[in-house]
Structure 1
Amino acid sequence: MANNNLDVFIISDCTGKTAKNLMESTAGQFPDYELKMKTFTFVRSIEKIEEILMEAKEVNAIIAYTFVKTKMRNFLNETAEKYNLEYINMMEKPLNIVAKRLGKQPKQQFALKYQLDEAYFDRIEAMEFTLKFDDLNESKGIAEADIVLVGVSRTSKTPLSVHLSYLGYKTANVPLVPEVEVHPAVLENNNNKVVGLTIDPKLLNGIRIERLKKMGLGDDATYAAKERIEEEFEYADSIMKKIGCPIIDVTDKNIEETAIEVLSYFKD
């Protein structure tokens, strides 16, 4: 490790903001040096702590952590000492002082302030999944998704996918482009998870022209040409017909309205 660099691993059973803010304030006192911070959030298992500390050992990182559970704090302390790592327990002293003054023991429950529950973590997982498989024609995303959206470019696939993920649904979206062969998994449509999106061609033409302007390109590009849009619609219609999936017209619909319609196909 270079003399002017220092690795700091921030570990927390919640967001890690407390430890991160304190370490950033500390770093500000050493402007000529770089404190490289790596944050590990929502760490809830002994196994994960072990994995992180093994990584920390490779770079001799300082450990700054906040855990509400005594068992996890003790394990981290013992393991850090075993690896000769310096560590800062940012939760224990405040907990002990308050507990002593109140004459009560802390509940040792994760993130009571934020009321995080299983549904919250499911939603975060869905959102991460959706961003990872945005606009991809790839087997893993199609196989693991709860919902797969297909359609030509600019039919609101991405914003709709993000909204559905916020509702807790892992959503993949696949662009339908004449020059690109659709993945067989989309055509197979296992579990009937594919939903097609379409839009009024004239509206799409206007949307694409505006998109080109924002990109600094002329509105006469092939992307916005009426002939090209007609070609894409013919191709998309043929694919969606082959799949046999429901098709939603997103013209003049907001994302919330379209999401409700999408989810109506997945009700028991």
Structure 2
Amino acid sequence: MSNEPSSRDVIIYVASDSAGDTGEMVVRAAIAQFHPVYSEIRRYSFIQDESTVKRVVQQAKSEQAIILYTLVIPHLRSSILRLSEELGVVAVDLLGPLIGSLEQRIGRMSRHEPGLNHVLDADYFRKVEAVEFAVKYDDAKDTSGVCKADIVLVGVSRTSKTPLSMYLAHRKFKVANVPLVPEIKPPDELFSISNTKVIGLTIDTHYLNVIRKERLKALGLPDNASYAMPERIERELAYAKSIMKRIGCLVIDVSHRAVEETASLIMEHIK
């Protein structure tokens, strides 16, 4: 069996001389326009020298990957541009053209210092705290997070609960999410908190069927498992709807919505 990616698969390298958060967010926003499609994002953070740049480009060549880079150090940016052209690798410069335009408009050179958007101020620490919160209270691993959260997301599997939690965390909201499964009693905490901070996520049966089949394929499993069967999905959605109705929370249909669009609706509701 070939290890090469299929025509529907895409591998994207995010190369940065800082953490790479900006590049990954842009990639996720772009790939959402092609959902459902299997994509793999690999970060290469805190790149400091040209030997690392060379290794990243060569690896991307071997995997037919696309590179998106956010390098502010000029010689590293020049190096990745030159090497990608030599090896025929698609490489997209996210910051270079904008920095150049700003230098012309402002009339002076940029500082060329990586990571300046992560100045360690109170705002940054709030974001870090929110991300750590989202990871800790993902998928109801610890239901005590339901009472501590700013936002609680509920819904069946594959309704974007985890991606939404992380996106909202980067907007400094503490988010817990709870999967709704007919065989598992929902945590009591869901019914003791204000329903204004609970958001129900629902989805079209056919669309969820497609998403779950793609997920099973990505895991190397047969797509006829009960997890992806329409009858099972309809039963799960009906159960989730009954729980959301009992809570009396806002319900958002995430069918064909990008994570960013759903997050905007949630933030608008919370505010």
Write out aligned runs for 1:59-208 (5 A).
114-136=118-140, 138-190=142-194, 192-208=196-212
Q: How far did residue 133 of structure 1 move?
A: 0.8
Out of 240, 245, 250, the residue aligned to residue 241 of structure 1 is: 245
Matched to 1:259, the amino acid is A
Residues in 2 aligned to 1:139 and 1:250: alpha-carbon distance in whole angstroms: 24
Residues of 2 paired with 1:180 and 1:191: CA distance?
A: 21
Question: Which residue, out of 226, 229, 234, partners 1:230?
Answer: 234
State the Cα distance separating 1:187 from its structure 2 match: 2.0
Measured in 1, the distance between the counterparts of 2:185 and 2:117 equals: 49
Contact 2:147 2:193 in 1 (8 A): no
Amino acid at match of 1:225: M
Structure-1-length-normalised TM-score: 0.56
Q: 1:265 aligns with which of 247, 263, 269?
A: 269
Please give the root-mean-square deviation of Cα atoms over the aligned residues, in Å.
2.0
Q: What amino acid is aligned across from residue 233 of structure 1 in structure 2?
A: L
Question: Residue type matched to 1:214 in 2?
Answer: A
CA deviation map 1:55-80 (0-9, x unaligned): xxxxxxxxxxxxxxxxxxxxxxxxxx
Residue pair 1:196, 1:246 contacting (<8 A) in 2 also: yes
The answer on whether the counterparts of 2:199 and 2:250 sit within 8 Å (CA) in structure 1 is yes
**Quick one: structure 1 residues 190 and 113, their matched pair in 2 at CA, closer, same or farther if it must change by over 3 Å?**
closer
Mapped to 2, the partners of 1:208 and 1:112 lie a distance apart of 40
Q: CA deviation at 1:137?
A: 5.9
Distance 1:124 1:137 in 2: 19
Structure 1 residue 199, shift from structure 2 partner = 0.9
Does the 8 Å contact 1:126/1:169 carry over to 2? yes
Q: 1:113 to 1:264 in 2, by over 3 A?
A: closer
What SS does the corresponding residue of 1:135 show, helix, strand or coil? Answer: helix
**Structure 1 segments unaligned to the other structure (5+ residues):** 1-14, 16-20, 22-110
Query: How far is the alpha carbon of 1:215 from its aligned partner?
Result: 1.2
CA distance in 2: counterparts of 1:193 and 1:219, whole angstroms: 35
Larger Rg: 1
Q: Which sections of structure 2, spanning at least 5 residues, go unmatched?
A: 1-18, 20-47, 49-114
Find the aligned partners of 2:250 and 2:259 in 1 and give their Cα distance.
17
Check whether the contact 2:199–2:249 (CA below 8 A) recurs between aligned residues.
yes
Q: Percent identity?
A: 53
> Which one of the candidate residues 207, 222, 233 is aligned to 1:218?
222
| Alpha-carbon distance in structure 2 between the residues aligned to 1:202 and 1:114 | 41
The CA distance in 2 between the partners of 1:112 and 1:180, in whole Å, is: 46
Decide whether the 8 Å contact of 1:148 with 1:171 is kept in 2: yes
Q: How many residues align?
A: 159
* Contact residue 146 and residue 152 of structure 2 kept, 8 A: yes
Which one-letter code corresponds to 1:260 in the other structure?
Answer: S
The 4+ residue runs of structure 1 with deviation greater than 3 A are 111-114
> Residues of 2 paired with 1:240 and 1:112: CA distance?
42
Letter of the structure 2 residue corresponding to residue 142 of structure 1: V
